[in-house]
Copies of this chain bind each other. A is one copy, B any other.
Amino acid sequence: MMKEEKEGLVNVAGDEGGVCAPQGFAASGVIAGIKVSGNPDMALIVNQGPEKTAAAVFTTNRVQAAPVTVSKKHIADGKLSAVVLNSGNANACNGQPGIADALEVCQKVADGLGVDVTEIGACSTGLIGDRLPMDIVLAGVPKLIEKLGADAAAGTAAAEAILTTDLVAKQAVAHGDGFTVGAMGKGVGMISPSMATMLGVITTDASVSAEMAHEAIAKASEVTFNRLDIDGSTSTNDTVIILANGASGVKPSQEELDQAVLSVCDSIARQMQSDAEGVTKRVSVTVRGTGGAEDALVAARIIGRDNLFKCAMFGSDPNWGRVLAAVGTAPVDMDPEHITVSFNGHVVCRDTGGTPDAREVDLSGKDIAVEVDLGTGNPEEATIRTTDLSHDYVHINSAYSS
């Protein structure tokens, strides 16, 4: 029932195979046996060249998982041949043995592909604090290599193998002028993901430098993944890697690359919002009328993280007082006597007071757009995407490790 509910929300863009849509990439996903559920739990993305350009953005959490440490080191030279991913175990907080485990997985992949271990990136997602079941994981690697394919089904298999509490695979494709960008992702956020770590792999057959690739992924993440704020938490494992091989022979400008990368990141972020844990509402919060776009982002995040506001959204309750109570705590410029709030375009609060029919606004639909003007007259604005706080969120997150 929840599954059906969710499918109505999700934009499944998998018919082109996500990471396999650009030329020169192969992917696979297999059931290695890490997950007790028996669902797919390992994935591999291989860049078949000719170029092996790579860049990434990683979690800002000070506690970083072993695969993050390893991937940062391996990507430092701007080159990767492949990324190996597993779900069902985060390989986080396992100290030096955890790092040795991650390296051993990379080595096994490198041996299988005939490349150096430093050309392999690694991503993990799942429970923190348990060692990887190495016999299972290492036995999964030859299966991954054997199953590699370059068609849409192969891309989709990889996208499915990285899911944890996600209900649907998330893929996106953007077509530039002579080049293609593909993507897969899982989880619900970057700066502020839910328990489900955010992992993303973006592929392109454009010919670009590692610096260009990094600039594109950093800029796109800032306005997509980093503005998806489901519960204010930040994973130890968040990673988004971009691989570029130049197979199209096209050298796009930074702007062209940025646009295509932004497009797939935006799609993946929307799909994450729709599939967030326990979500019944997609909520966007836009703030303007403060000190500028930075202030607006701070204020929008404070509203979007407020549990009382999120519960009201779950209840389809146009309780604008919760918006004011939340935004009043934001350390930003505002005119506290002249705040305006609207829900889905209906002004429910003007000059910090309710409008006559404010309580009648119908919020029963799945999308709720909240707009807040803090009254300074500054038109610069920022938007974050969030969700409601539902019974299912509590249910899913109250018995994860046990």
Residues of A within 8 A of B (CB): 60-64, 90, 92-95, 98, 127-130, 194-195, 231-236, 305-308, 311-312, 314-315, 317-322, 324-330, 334, 336-337, 339, 349, 351-354, 358-359, 389-391, 393-402
Contacts and interface: CB of A to CB of B under 8 A. Distances in A.
Given A234-B325, A329-B234, A311 B394 contact: yes
B325 A236 contact: yes
A92 B307 contact: no
A194 B325 contact: no
Given A128-B321, A391-B394, 4 more contacts: A92-B321, A129-B353, A232-B305, A319-B402
Contacts of A64: 328, 336
Given A317-B399, A349-B93, A402-B317, A61 B311 contact: no
A305 B192 CA distance: 13
A398 B320 contact: no
Contacts of A390: 394
A63 B339 contact: yes
A336 B337 CA distance: 44
Nearest to A278: B394
A298 to B, nearest CB: 13
Contacts of A235: 325
A305 B307 CA distance: 10
A60 B328 CA distance: 9
Nearest to A401: B319
B95 A352 contact: yes
Contacts of A391: 391, 394-395
A241 to B, nearest CB: 21
B195 A327 contact: no
28 contacts: A62-B329, A62-B330, A63-B325, A63-B327, A64-B336, A92-B325, A93-B352, A94-B354, A128-B319, A128-B320, A128-B321, A128-B325, A129-B353, A232-B305, A236-B325, A307-B389, A311-B393, A311-B394, A311-B397, A311-B398, A312-B397, A312-B398, A312-B401, A314-B398, A315-B400, A317-B401, A319-B400, A391-B391
Contact of A336 (B62, B308, B400): B62
B359 A401 contact: yes
Contacts of A127: 319, 321
Contacts of A339: 63
A326 B28 CA distance: 33
A399 to B, nearest CB: 4
A132 to B, nearest CB: 13
User: What are the 3 closest A-B residue pairs judged by CB atoms, nearest first?
Assistant: A128-B321, A315-B398, A63-B328
Contacts of A317: 398-402
A286 B401 CA distance: 23
Contact of A233 (B62, B92, B326): B326
A93 B322 contact: no
Most-contacted residue by chain B among A64, A93, A98, A353 (CB, 10 A)? A93
Contact of A61 (B128, B232, B328, B397): B328
Contacts of A61: 325, 328-329
Contacts of A329: 60-62, 233-234
